[in-house]
Amino acid sequence: MLHFRPVTLKDAELLLKWRNDPETRRQSRNTGQAEFDGHINWLKKTLSGAVPARKLYIAEEAGIPIGTVRTDEDTDDCTEVSYTVSPSLRGKGCGKRMLVQFAQEQLKGKKLKAEIKKGGNEASESIAKALGLKPAEERPSDDPNDPRPLVMWR
């Protein structure tokens, strides 16, 4: 069983390391390398409540961080979920286990959505399906380094 705790500033270095992992960047909306100062500013803003609809959690197993879950309450009455798995644990089912447990514990009764890059992201698509989501709409990428469109799963 996983434990979910709110992210703190003490997690900044770990989150930045995971965010800048090449595969994480490849599947992110923005594939660019995050710089430390920008990351700290983003994290401080998020943790201060300046983005009141956003919540960040660390998933831990036996006290060891295995990933993160971010939720954004949207104006369309949906909660968007996104996640990162520790690069050392990829391919072991941690992401699906983490998101399914988190949704059952923290998001019960909420309409969920997730935006996933089209093509080459089977793990995220599998997780979206496990959450009961289906591809609903597609939009062009905003990332000049990655032209793959983004698919909203609802």
What's the pTM value of the predicted model, to 2 decimals?
A: 0.93
**What is the predicted pLDDT for the residue at 30?**
87
Domains, the chain, ordered by start: 3-153 (3.40.630.30)
Contacts of residues 19-26 at CB distance under 8 Å and 24 or more positions apart, as own/partner, are 19/84, 21/87, 23/87, 23/90, 24/84, 24/87, 26/120, 26/146
pLDDT digits (tens, 9 = 90+) for 23-49: 999 999 889 999 999 999 999 999 999
Contact of 23 with 87, CB cutoff 8 Å: yes
* Geometric angle at alpha carbon 147, from 145 and 149, rounded to 5°: 135
Low-confidence ranges of the chain (pLDDT < 70): none
Question: What residues pair up with 69 in beta bridges, in sequence order?
Answer: 57, 83
